[in-house]
């Protein structure tokens, strides 16, 4: 199994995530828009420069945190490109990974995004098999509940996970998540992407849950936790 953590939106609470990724020596990718049209605060260039390390990397998330399906297609290029330039100027190197705001896209949008980026991630859940192309996550680190996991597993044709859910009924979302990760860790060829928002971790008090997971990873399968960009065949 290969594991990848990524966090969206560049909220100020990312600072706590930077510290946790360093502490547990688990790589994390942070997708940061230049600004946020919803009014959320975005971390400063200085915070990004200070945080970047072996365990903390940054990727693009558009200029204004714009859902790319909500704007005219001719405006998509600028939304994507301007944010990449912004990040590359701050960090002083190429930025190759991108996350679609709200996970929204169509084929035309993807073509434009791939002009600039090597990897593109959605905001999906319950995907366990990577067969090239857009990166679709397995776990949203947020208590979505059994119904959401089940519905997404069905939609994404993750049938063995569907059966697993049915045979492991529990109301404890994170217990379930831990079990799903444990199950996935037994396969060699799968990729498990975990994503979330630091502001959600703060709002729903999920920091302890995340530290529990990091501890499990560190104890059991740390060697399988690779740098985000290393685990995919990039386009
Ligand atoms: Zn976002």
Tell me the pLDDT tens digit for each residue of 137-155. 988 998 887 788 888 888 8
72-86, 114-128, 138-152, 199-213: least confidently modelled range = 138-152
pLDDT digits (tens, 9 = 90+) for 19-59: 999 999 889 999 999 999 999 999 999 999 999 998 999 99
Would you place residue 231 in the very low, low, confident or very high pLDDT band (cuts 50, 70, 90)?
A: low
Give me ligand 1 centre to Cα 16, in Å: 18
Give me ligand 1 centre to Cα 98, in Å: 11
| 175 in a structural domain | no
Percent of the chain with pLDDT over 70: 93
What is the rounded average pLDDT of the residues 163-185? 81
| 172 in a structural domain | no
pLDDT of residue 232: 59
Give me ligand 1 centre to Cα 217, in Å: 25
Percent of the chain with pLDDT over 90: 58
pLDDT of residue 201: 96
| 170 in a structural domain | no
* Ligand 1 ion: nearby residues, β-carbon < 5 Å: 8-9, 101
Do the Cβ atoms of 125 and 139 come closer than 8 Å? Answer: yes
In terms of C-beta density within 10 A (0-12 exposed, 13-18 middle, 19 or more buried), how is residue 14 classed? buried
Does the pLDDT value for residue 69 go beyond 60? yes
pLDDT of residue 222: 57
Does the pLDDT value for residue 235 go beyond 50? no
Residue 19 maps to which CATH number?
3.20.20.370
pLDDT digits (tens, 9 = 90+) for 108-119: 999 999 999 999
Give me ligand 1 centre to Cα 113, in Å: 16
Do the Cβ atoms of 25 and 222 come closer than 8 Å? Answer: yes
In terms of C-beta density within 10 A (0-12 exposed, 13-18 middle, 19 or more buried), how is residue 183 classed? middle
Give me ligand 1 centre to Cα 99, in Å: 8
Taking the C-alpha atoms of residue 137 and residue 228, their distance in angstroms, rounded to an integer, is 12
Does the pLDDT value for residue 234 go beyond 50? no
Taking the C-alpha atoms of residue 192 and residue 13, their distance in angstroms, rounded to an integer, is 24
Domain span including residue 119: 2-142+189-231
Mind giving me the DSSP string for 112-148?
A: HHHHH-SEEE-S--------SSSB--SEESS---HHH
Q: Residue 213 is encoded by which pair of tokens?
A: 């997971």
Taking the C-alpha atoms of residue 39 and residue 35, their distance in angstroms, rounded to an integer, is 8
Mind giving me the DSSP string for 150-178?
A: HHHHHHTT-HHHHHHHHHS--S-HHHHHH
Closest CA to 54 of 71, 37, 79, 29: 29
| 183 in a structural domain | no
Give me ligand 1 centre to Cα 65, in Å: 6
Does the pLDDT value for residue 95 go beyond 80? yes
Give me ligand 1 centre to Cα 186, in Å: 31
| 31 in a structural domain | yes
Mean residue pLDDT of the chain comes to 89
| 57 in a structural domain | yes
| 164 in a structural domain | no
Would you place residue 196 in the very low, low, confident or very high pLDDT band (cuts 50, 70, 90)?
A: very high
| 169 in a structural domain | no
Give the count of domains, the chain. Answer: 1
């Amino acid at each position: 199994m290969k594991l990848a953590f990524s966090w969206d939106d560049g909220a100020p609470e990312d600072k706590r995530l930077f510290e946790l990724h360093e502490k547990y020596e688990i790589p994390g990718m942070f997708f940061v828009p230049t600004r946020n049209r919803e009014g959320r605060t975005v971390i400063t260039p200085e915070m990004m420069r200070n945080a970047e390390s072996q365990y903390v990397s940054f990727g693009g998330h558009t200029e204004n945190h714009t859902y790319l399906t909500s704007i005219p297609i001719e405006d998509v290029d600028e939304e994507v490109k301007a944010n990449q330039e912004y990040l590359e100027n701050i960090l002083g190197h190429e930025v190759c990974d991108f996350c679609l705001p709200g996970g929204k896209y169509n084929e035309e949008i993807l073509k434009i995004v791939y002009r600039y980026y090597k990897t593109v991630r959605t905001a999906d859940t319950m995907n366990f098999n990577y067969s090239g192309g857009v990166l679709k996550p397995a776990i949203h680190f947020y208590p979505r509940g059994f119904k959401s996991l089940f519905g997404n597993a069905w939609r994404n044709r993750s049938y063995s996970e569907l059966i697993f859910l049915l045979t492991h009924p529990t109301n404890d979302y994170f217990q379930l998540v831990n079990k799903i990760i444990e199950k996935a860790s037994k396969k060699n060829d799968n990729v498990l992407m975990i994503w979330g928002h630091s502001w959600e971790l703060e709002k729903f008090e999920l920091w302890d849950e995340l530290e529990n997971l990091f501890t499990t990873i560190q104890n059991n399968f740390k060697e399988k936790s690779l740098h985000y960009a290393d685990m995919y065949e990039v386009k």
